[in-house]
Structure 1
């Protein structure tokens, strides 16, 4: 891992630095959206880059905050990018939520603000969910009260991406969180979601922060950059030396911060949610990667240059 305060471009490293970098990690945790593909466009040659990493002996796991697409659909989307990825290589927010609930032996009713696919995963795991209101309500306090006040014994509020999020859902969640034993669990924390080059939309993190401020409760974060997610990955993959893991992502606050929090090396790619100007303007140490690249495809050249001497 580099000790310099400013991140280094992997193709501007010296030959010896490149060799040391490649030999310094065994496992790769990689983001997906903005790194391998965007909403409809594949990142050129990303498939070749990950194939080269595998040939170099690196173990690949893909860690996403995107719960709008389930694991099976994500595998299909990988195939469209010419990558054959197994379902067990993908860490999806809903499945991570299930792992966590199982680990704490959670029992009880869950109020959930999330996508239909996210809800399906939790229901199939045996958890009892309630949601809504999902219908239009009148602009009267009487109708609002009928839809947000509830006496059911909710013991956890889950918030993730919900394209049909409404004020009544947020108000209802806040009322459940008044109970001292009600947990606040969040999936994706992205405050902005890049949907195209230079185009961002408000993400679930902005809405989760409203519940955090209103309830005074700190959430357990099961998406990046949640420490609970990192602990589960480390345990699942028997990682004994976090510094020998490389986290690749396109977002400073989610991917880079997550990697640094877990003690991983970090690499930012400029094909998604962060531009070079934004990287150079970043001053928060937790958001500064060790390395950066124009694209994950830069690994093709990097590994080709050192192939004869790497991993002897």
Structure 2
């Protein structure tokens, strides 16, 4: 497979061909527009330039800790007016999926309070916990992980209070062959500062997937989940996947998602992937078609003059 090209090193003919080759943009958020430390300079200008060129923008995030409303307020702070329907959030994707299969029944959930609130507001019946400290003996453990509740789906996403009893309880529910296993965010590592990663929800979800023997039956509704791709393609009635551009900062989650769906892919180096990591990548499923230092390069590509800094 050919090495990815930097968009500012394309010839005039290549630039024109690239810009005319897609109509819809799907974009990650964290690491592309902002990080935990700062906003990415001129990222908003890149999206404004895309819109001025007639591209339809949709944001697909694996960050379920931040609600859609919080995302919209954060966008506004950098001068972007984004509508709720432009944001694909793991909790909302799961709701869309469950409604699509007409799911009925009790859900055991490992996730953040805002994530649970979204599902409850959508009318789903949730069970969670244990949320309190349990004693270090088998009797206490057994009391908290064994029950006869008719759970028909287990959902796992980001939970900053994840515990062994929660995982054990989820695993026990999954003994029922008809109980679904659904995961949201799949990130195995989360970049929280320059050069600093923490273990992400994907690593914990993998433990549950392997322990329950659901390797081929886990429904993944965060990137790079195949089921998420199906939802998006169906929702937007995408009949030419090659005319969609996926933008992101992570090789496995963003680029892997885009390539799996048949989209074009653009990696930006403003977040979780360095140029060295990009050039060292050998898995063709994770190698983008193009790369850029940041979304500011997209603004430059589309002829937007840099704004003067006061």
TM beyond 0.5? yes
> How far off its partner does 1:231 sit?
1.1
> How far off its partner does 1:240 sit?
1.1
CA distance in 2, matches of 1:171, 1:84: 43
Question: Could you state the TM-score of these two structures normalised by the residue count of structure 2?
Answer: 0.96
CA RMSD, 1 decimal: 0.9
Is structure 2 residue 122 aligned with structure 1 residue 119?
no
> How far off its partner does 1:40 sit?
3.9
Is structure 2 residue 32 aligned with structure 1 residue 57?
no
CA distance in 2, matches of 1:213, 1:63: 27
93, 97, 112: which one aligns with 1:96: 93
Is structure 2 residue 137 aligned with structure 1 residue 140?
yes
Corresponding residue for 2:229? Answer: 230
Residues 110 and 157, structure 1, Cα contact 8 Å, conserved in 2: yes
Corresponding residue for 1:160? Answer: 157
Deviations 1:22-63 (A, max 9, x none): 000000000000000012411000111100000011000000
Is structure 2 residue 169 aligned with structure 1 residue 172?
yes
CA distance in 2, matches of 1:77, 1:136: 35
Corresponding residue for 1:310? Answer: none
- Match of 1:297, SS state, is helix
What 5-or-longer segments of structure 1 have no aligned partner? 306-312
Mapping for residues 201-212 of structure 1, pairs under 5 Å: 201-212=198-209
Question: Could you state the TM-score of these two structures normalised by the residue count of structure 1?
Answer: 0.95
Deviations 1:142-180 (A, max 9, x none): 101110111101000000000110011000000000111
What 5-or-longer segments of structure 2 have no aligned partner? 305-310
CA distance in 2, matches of 1:15, 1:198: 35
Corresponding residue for 1:195? Answer: 192
> Which portions of structure 1, spanning 4 or more consecutive aligned residues, are displaced by more than 4 angstroms?
none
> How far off its partner does 1:253 sit?
0.5
CA distance in 2, matches of 1:136, 1:80: 39
Residues 113 and 162, structure 1, Cα contact 8 Å, conserved in 2: yes
- Match of 1:210, SS state, is helix
Mapping for residues 9-158 of structure 1, pairs under 5 Å: 9-158=6-155
- Match of 2:175, SS state, is coil
Equivalent residue pairs, number: 302
Deviations 1:225-266 (A, max 9, x none): 011111111111121100000000000010000000000000
Residues 37 and 81, structure 1, Cα contact 8 Å, conserved in 2: no
